[in-house]
Structure 1
Amino acid sequence: MVKVDRTAFSVASLFDEPDEKAYWLSKTPYERLQALELMRQVVYGYTPASARLQRVLAVASFPPG
């Protein structure tokens, strides 16, 4: 039987004020951008090919006149 490590999490009320705003305001803008990039990689996946922006080339043909 697997035992749960009860020190690894805490239980809180949904009505408690979250302290996330204070946490992120205590971070530098660079640290916030690093965290944002990490979340982007987690959600969309990370591959070396997707680390760069793609170039898009579109040829538009217009009728004469």
Structure 2
Amino acid sequence: MEKIVKIVKLGHDDSNLIYWLSRSFIQRLEELEKLRNEVNQRMYGNQQGFQRVYRVVKREQC
């Protein structure tokens, strides 16, 4: 198998855009979720949940 390298200017390669436009909305969301999970796994490891807990308190006006 022969390697082929194609050099293009940034923003001039439409193959990526064409690929994503050919996918359905659901397929794009599923891939986005998969990428988000991969990034979170790399950055945070096995940590799950919120880093902080906030409590919302309703104040009465004076």
Give the structure 2 partner of residue 13 of structure 1: 7
TM superposition score normalised by structure 1: 0.55
1:30-45 paired onto structure 2 within 5 Å: 30-45=26-41
Residue segments in structure 2 that go unaligned for 5+ positions in a row: none
Considering only aligned residues, what root-mean-square deviation do their CA atoms show, in Å? 3.2
- The structure having more radius of gyration, on CA atoms, is 1
C-alpha distance in 2 between matches for 1:61 and 1:34: 38
Over the matched positions of the two proteins, sequence identity in percent amounts to 24
C-alpha distance in 1 between matches for 2:29 and 2:58: 40
Work out the number of aligned pairs and report it: 54
TM superposition score normalised by structure 2: 0.57
Write the deviation string for residues 5-53 of structure 1: whole angstroms up to 9, x where unpaired: x66x642203352411000000000000010001001101276x55xxx
Distance 1:25 1:59, change over 3 A: closer
Residue segments in structure 1 that go unaligned for 5+ positions in a row: 1-5
Regions of 4+ moved over 6 Å: none
